[in-house]
Amino acid sequence: GQNIDQPTEMTATEGAIVQINCTYQTSGFNGLFWYQQHAGEAPTFLSYNVLDGLEEKGRFSSFLSRSKGYSYLLLKELQMKYSASYLCAVMDSNYQLIWGAGTKLIIKP
């Protein structure tokens, strides 16, 4: 079966760096997405990786290793407003998104 694993919850301190890991086993691979979802709001797109390596976008970076079935989302200089759930999703060979259950990130002052 297809499976996406990510930690259920993480806690970090304001101003620090946090890395949220995602491992996957899917039927085919057409890219990996990271979304941010604040409570009661729409998931919003953060990043897309289809090739191995690191993609940097300001305070957010995403890394992919296809051979290891592994990705991480790196958040730098954490701000309180980054407290949210972070969803990892992989697009399979049928171009369907397979979703993880999300990682709830709690940021403390």
Partner 1 sequence: ETGVTQTPRHLVMGMTNKKSLKCEQHLGHNAMYWYKQSAKKPLELMFVYNFKEQTENNSVPSRFSPECPNSSHLFLHLHTLQPEDSALYLCASSPGLDADTQYFGPGTRLTVL
SS (H, E, C) 61-80: EEEEECCCCEEEEEECCCCH
Residue 33 as a binder of partner 1 (CB under 8 A): the answer is: yes
8 A C-beta contact, residue 48 and residue 64? no
Selected binder of partner 1 within 13, 19, 44, 65 (CB under 8 A): 44
Can you read off the two tokens belonging to residue 87?
């969803």
Between 73 and 78, name the residue whose CB sits nearer to partner 1.
73
8 A C-beta contact, residue 47 and residue 96? no
Selected binder of partner 1 within 41, 52, 56, 77 (CB under 8 A): 41
Q: Which residues bind partner 1 (CB under 8 A)?
A: 4, 8, 30-31, 33, 35, 40-45, 48, 50, 87, 89, 91, 95-102
